[in-house]
Amino acid sequence: MYFATMSQLLTSYLAIITSIFIVLLIYIYFKLSYTYWRSRGVPQLNPSFPFGDMASVIFRRENMGDKIRRIYSEARSAGHKYVGLYFFSRKAFMPVDPILVKNILVRDFANFHDRGIYYDEKNDPLSAHLFSLAGPKWRNLRAKLTPAYSPKQLRNMFGIIMNCGEQMNELIEDSAKIGEAVEIKEILARYTTDVIGSCAFGLDCNTMRNPQAEFRLMGKRAFTQTVSDVLNMVVIRSFPPIAKLLGLGVFSRNVTDFFKRVVRETIEYREANRIERNDFLQLLVQLKNHGKLDCSEEKAGTALTMDEAAAQAFIFFLAGFETTSTTSSFAILEMALNGNVQNTARREIQKVLEKHGGVLCYEAIQEFTYLDMVIQETMRKYPPAPVFLRKCTETYTIPDTNVTIEKGQSVLIPAYGMHRDQEYFPNPDNFDPERFNEKNRENIWDYTYIPFGDGPRNCIGMRFALIQVKIALSVILRNYSISLNDRTKLPITMEKKGIILAPIGGIWINFEVIR
């Protein structure tokens, strides 16, 4: 009995000592990792075990965009051209000099042609989309999909988008007639859901009248992170091989299954009934069946599989839903706060529509010069993607230095920081569309304004996104005078979770019908 008890105690002590030893080794490994940038002559912050420089983001005390913007400002104030960061023990390099940003995005693109975003074609097929794919797979798919966003294709989809804008207008009108304030971010999110649901999935989502529609709920779920989701992402980002071994997905299983099912059933229905529509999904059907969009092309590429088609429809939704509705919401906020901007934009819309017989058509949208300036200034002040990711694909030496970025390391492009930099944009917190008039645009430093990224991996859906925003804003401005409701919390503060800028408490707007 005595020896059995002693044996158990000894086993327990050994287990405790082993655990302490393992923790100590991990601690030493992290601490040594945190000397990496300094030992190479790269400025760094004061990383803490085990979160590196990202504890405030992980514990949701700070939004990722705000965090990177703050680091950018500190680096610029110290006169640095770049800074080294740590995500747990992983290293990341962040340029703060626009010339270096240009080199990474464009001139030396061959060294940074991937984003370094996790994807797993086998266990999580929706993650293998254009935004995350790397190397030849990305290059081939980008070439296939580029014609899908041509002016010709966008003109074909214009009627679908416009129909969603009219449904949005009907809902706003109902509230305006009874003097009820509207949380515009929610309304615009439903609008973009309907647009993308129709264009990318061939569905009449009708979230305007039914905000609990399954498509809307699944869209919300895709952008909501539970505790389980956060833990999954920690494993995925820190230990990708283990994540693939465990079959972990970027998105929850019910979201993945829903979007895969919707695409499969819609494509099968169209093929069985020989139905064709002027939408993005129809272009995916062509790529699935023929490997090309233009029937006049002699050579066809490799056809898309059903899972690949679903992945491209899914990223169309992810990239265009939240970013577009958020940009439109901030534009409405700023025009509600700046009556002269609102009135100037409205006068331009009325003048252009008179020229086109009162019809808001594709040609009219292209003539909204001032409205375009409003949108550009909105994206400067509230960039849709505050941070862009790149991955070093070949070891790169920074020009005129001995500093190298090693193959496989992440690179962060701080768009939000540059957009709010006093040197590049005087009085950066002021909303001034005139920064983007024909004369002043020439004074903007190259690569200090990159709302859609730049280079070969810029946003492929830029034109589509701008058309969505212009339709939403022009429909609202031609019909309503807008003002800020007291329920909007000023000054605007951003949600602490996620990377997309989103105001806490929403943006509440009063709408008055223009007679």
Tell me whether residue 323 is in a domain.
Answer: yes
Residue 60, by phi and psi: left (phi above 0), alpha (psi -120 to 50) or beta?
Answer: left
Tell me whether residue 485 is in a domain.
Answer: yes
Tell me whether residue 48 is in a domain.
Answer: yes
Contact in structure between 444 and 438 (CB atoms under 8 Å): no
- Res. 36: pLDDT tops 60: yes
Tell me whether residue 8 is in a domain.
Answer: no
Q: How far is CA 444 from the centre of its chain?
A: 24
For 159-168, what is each residue's pLDDT tens digit? 999 999 999 9
Query: What's the number of domains the chain is made of?
Result: 1
Question: Peptide bond preceding 428: is omega within 30 degrees of 0, i.e. cis?
Answer: no
The answer to whether 459 is a known ligand-binding residue is yes
The residues that bridge with 83 in the sheet, in sequence order, are 94
- Res. 117: pLDDT tops 60: yes
What is the rounded average pLDDT of the residues 473-488?
Answer: 96
* CATH, residue 78: 1.10.630.10
**pTM attached to this predicted model:** 0.91
Q: Tell which wins on pLDDT, 451 or 303.
A: 451
- Res. 294: pLDDT tops 70: no
Tell me whether residue 312 is in a domain.
Answer: yes
For 63-94, what is each residue's pLDDT tens digit? 889 999 999 999 999 999 999 999 888 899 99
Phi/psi of residue 114, each to 5°? Answer: -110, 160
Tell me whether residue 31 is in a domain.
Answer: no
Task: Give the pLDDT of residue 227.
Answer: 65
> Pairing between strand 410-413 and 90-95?
parallel
Reported in sequence order, the residue ranges of 352-415 that DSSP labels E, i.e. its strands, are 388-391, 396-397, 404-405, 410-413
The most confident of 141-150, 240-249, 394-403, by mean pLDDT: 394-403
- Expressed as residue numbers, the domain containing 135 is 37-513
Task: Give the pLDDT of residue 417.
Answer: 97
What is the rounded average pLDDT of the residues 401-412?
Answer: 95
For 356-373, what is each residue's pLDDT tens digit? 999 999 999 999 999 999
Tell me whether residue 17 is in a domain.
Answer: no
Task: Give the pLDDT of residue 122.
Answer: 82
Tell me whether residue 19 is in a domain.
Answer: no
- What mean pLDDT, rounded, does the chain reach? 88
What is the rounded average pLDDT of the residues 476-505?
Answer: 89
Task: Give the pLDDT of residue 247.
Answer: 76
For 186-215, what is each residue's pLDDT tens digit? 899 889 988 988 888 777 776 666 666 777
Reported confidence tier of residue 226, pLDDT bands at 50, 70, 90: low
Can you tell me the distance from the alpha carbon of 279 to that of 277, in angstroms, rounded to the nearest whole number? 6
Phi/psi of residue 91, each to 5°? Answer: -95, 145
